[in-house]
Structure formats: structure tokens, C-alpha cells
Amino acid sequence: MVAFWHGLGTTLRLLTRNPVGFIGFLGVVFFIVLSFVVPHLVPLDRTTKIDQVYAAASWQHPLGTDFSGRDVLSHVIHGGRDVLTIAFLAGAISTLIAVTLGSLSALAGGTVDSAIMGLADIVLTIPQFPLLIVLAGLLRFNSVVILAVILGLLSWPSLTRAIRAQVLSLRERDFVEAARALDLGTRHIILREIMPNMASYLVVSLIFAMTAAVYAQVGLVFLGLVPLSGTNWGVMLQLAWTKGAIFYPKALWYIMGPVLAIALFQLALVFASRSLEEVFNPRLRTGV
């Protein structure tokens, strides 16, 4: 227990060393709480109020109302869960695939290396968003998990090549050579020797994979290609566009609410990567 609290204290000190990164970390925590905790405290406004359609921002409705007179703020609060869930799952899937294939390619070499890099080159040449549009016409992206898996399966090639380059450099280090001499096996070398030395790089890569997944999913939802049920920031933008909110000056916050939520979440992720690099990169821990 003492070791746990000591480690937690060290982690917090590392996070606060970079003020911008710490602000980003707090921003990510804020959006997690906003999307997964606050909805249990703030009910979703589902009541149609014809006399309050596109009402301006007020104390009762801080972000105004939508085309049905419903409170926009409650929809922004309830609209982040799917976006954050898909972003994390898609980022984790693409990073896991990239780590596995990139490490295997670098360590195995030969035919295995050529086959994996050839497959990565083929996937890289296919425009991702147009492919997603085609797949949306063939498949039904009516599940958060299905959409996350599809995004993850299409996002691994560029990261795979980068991880392969990192592993090619690390495999020449003395500690990897010692592990090979002891015949500890490829799995041990990857998981115990190489991955800990790439932790900061992998965390940053995960964050940027998440940001790409956010843009991809919101774009698909906005185009009406992903029939996700419930409230979603992308659904809010799609409805704002189809219901003509752009022509009503008082509906500004109905459009800007989800836009700012998406932009600020992306910004928080990018800023947080600075502090997370401090946490996972041992070379930056001097004086802690």
C-alpha cells in the first residue's frame, strides 16, 4: 500500500512538471467525468417544446435549445459517451495490432518482414475515409463496438512501420542481445525488454490514434452513414445541418456546442500527451 501511494505521488509530480500537459490531462479527466458520470446527475431533455424552438442561450438553457425546443446542454453532456468509447477502443485496437505486427516484423525479418510490410503498404494506399463510406454502404455500423473495430482495423499500417523502425533500433541494444543469448524467446524480448523502452512512444501513438478515430466517426455520423441511436455529438451536428439550424442566429450554440466539445477534447488529448511522455519516459525523470 505504501508503494502504491508513493508511485501515485511520483506520477502526479511527473504530470505537473509540464503545465500545458497537466492542463490537458485535467481536460481529459473532465471529459471522462462529463460523459460517464454527469449524465447520471443531469437528465436528458426529451420533451418537445414548440414555443422554445431555437431559443437563445439563457440561465435556464445555457446553450439554448434545438429544433424541438430541447435543452442543448443536456444533449452535449449525454453525447460524449459513444464518442469517447469509440475513440479509446479504436485507438487501442490499432495500437495493439501495430505493436504486434511491427515488433514481429522487425525481430523476425526475412519473409515475415516483407509480408507484413507489403500488407501495410497495400492498406496505406487505400484512402481510409472513402473506404469507410463504401463499407458503411455494405455493412451496418449500428454498434459502437463494430464501428470501433472497423476504425481500428484500418488505422494500424502507418504506426506499424514506425514501431518497426523503433524496434529495429532497440534490437541492437545490449539488453536485447543478452536476452537472445539467454534464449528467453521472442515473446519475452518484445514484452519485457522492448515494449517498456517504447512506452512513451506507444502512449503518444495511442492518443493520436484516438484523435483520428474521433474525426472519422463524427464524419461518418454527420454524413448519416452510421445509424447510431441515442445522443451523440456527431448526431447533433447532423441534425443541426438537416434541420436548418445554420439559418437561425439564435441556434449558434446548438451548432457550436458539439463542435467545441469535439475540438476541446482533441486539444486536451494532444496537450495531455506532453505530460504522459514525462510519466512513461525514464530519461525525463531526473530530479523526481
Q: Residues 6 or more apart from 273 whose CB is under 8 A from it? A: 21, 24, 203, 204, 207, 208
Is the same domain home to 215 and 88?
yes
The whole-number pLDDT of residue 76 equals 93
Asked if the model's pLDDT at residue 171 lies above 80, the reply is no
Residues 65 and 188 in one domain: no
pLDDT at 142 over 60: yes
Determine, yes or no, domain membership for 127. Answer: yes
Question: What is the domain count for the chain?
Answer: 2
Residue 107 pLDDT > 90: no
Question: Can you give the CATH number for the domain in which 156 is found?
Answer: 1.10.3720.10
Q: Does residue 194 belong to any structural domain of this protein?
A: yes
Domain shared by 74 and 86, yes or no:
no
- List the Cα angle 145/148/153 in 5-degree steps: 125
Residues β-bridged to residue 65: 71
C-alpha cell at 195: 515494449
pLDDT, average across residues 8-31: 80
Return the percentage of the chain with pLDDT > 70, whole number. Answer: 90
Q: Half-sphere exposure of 276 toward its Cβ, with a 13 Å CA cutoff?
A: 21
- Mean pLDDT (whole number) for 44-48: 87
Identify whether residues 89 and 75 lie together within a single domain. Answer: no
> Contact, 160 vs 97, CB < 8 A?
yes
- Kindly state whether residue 197 falls inside one of the protein's structural domains: yes
Q: Which amino acid is at 71?
A: D
- Residue 29's pLDDT band (cuts 50, 70, 90): very high
215-235 pLDDT, tens digit each:
888 888 888 777 665 678 888
59 domain-assigned: yes
Percent of the chain with pLDDT over 90: 18
42 lies in some domain: yes
pLDDT at 288: 47
* Confidence (pLDDT) at 225: 77
* CA distance linking residue 146 with residue 85, whole number of Å: 12
Does residue 54 share a domain with residue 186? no
Residue that finishes a domain, picked among 207, 230, 253: 230
Rounded distance between C-alpha atoms, residue 151 and residue 95, angstroms: 11
Q: Can you say whether residue 287 is alpha, beta or left, with left for phi > 0 and alpha for psi between -120 and 50 degrees? A: left
Q: Are residues 117 and 247 in the same domain?
A: no
Provide the total of helices (H) and of strands (E) in the chain, helices listed first: 13, 0
Residue 12, pLDDT above cutoff 70: no
| Bigger pLDDT: 286 vs 177 | 177
Q: Judge if 90 and 226 occupy the same domain.
A: yes
Whether 47 has a pLDDT exceeding 70, the answer reads yes
User: What pLDDT does residue 287 have?
Assistant: 47
Q: With a cut of 80, say whether residue 146 has pLDDT above it.
A: yes
- Please give the distance of CA 225 from its chain centroid, rounded to a whole number: 20
Mean pLDDT of the chain: 83
- Judge whether 192 lies within some domain: yes
Same domain, 29 and 129: no
Task: Residue 284: give the domain boundaries.
Answer: 1-79+242-288
* Whether residue 204 is found in the same domain as residue 113: yes
Tell me what pLDDT residue 282 has: 56
The mean pLDDT value for 25-46 works out to 92
3-class state of residue 80 by DSSP: helix
- Specify the higher pLDDT residue, 49 or 192: 49
Residue 285 pLDDT greater than 80, yes or no = no
What pLDDT is attached to residue 227? 66
Residue 275 has pLDDT above 60, yes or no: yes
Q: pLDDT digit string (tens) for 79-100? A: 899 899 999 999 999 999 998 8
Give the pLDDT of residue 90.
92
C-alpha cell at 84: 469517447
Q: With CA atoms as reference, report the closest residue to 31 among 77, 69, 63, 73.
A: 77
pLDDT value for 4: 46
For residue 202, the one-letter residue type is: L
At 221 the three-state DSSP class reads: helix
Residue type, position 141, single letter: F
Helix (H, G, I), strand (E, B) or coil at 126: coil
Check pLDDT > 90 for residue 77.
Answer: yes
CB 83 within 8 A of CB 262: yes
Q: Quick check: 148 and 86 in contact, CB under 8 A?
A: yes
Compute the C-alpha angle 114/116/122, nearest 5°. 100
Q: Are residues 87 and 146 in the same domain?
A: yes
Both 137 and 265 in one domain: the answer is no
Q: What is the pLDDT of residues 182-204, one digit of tens each?
A: 777 777 777 777 777 777 788 88
Kindly state whether residues 90 and 224 are assigned to the same domain: yes
Higher model confidence: residue 3 or residue 129?
A: 129
Give residue 20's identity as a one-letter amino acid code: V
User: Is residue 235 assigned to a domain?
Assistant: no
User: Pick from 256, 225, 227: which is nearest to 240 by CA?
Assistant: 256
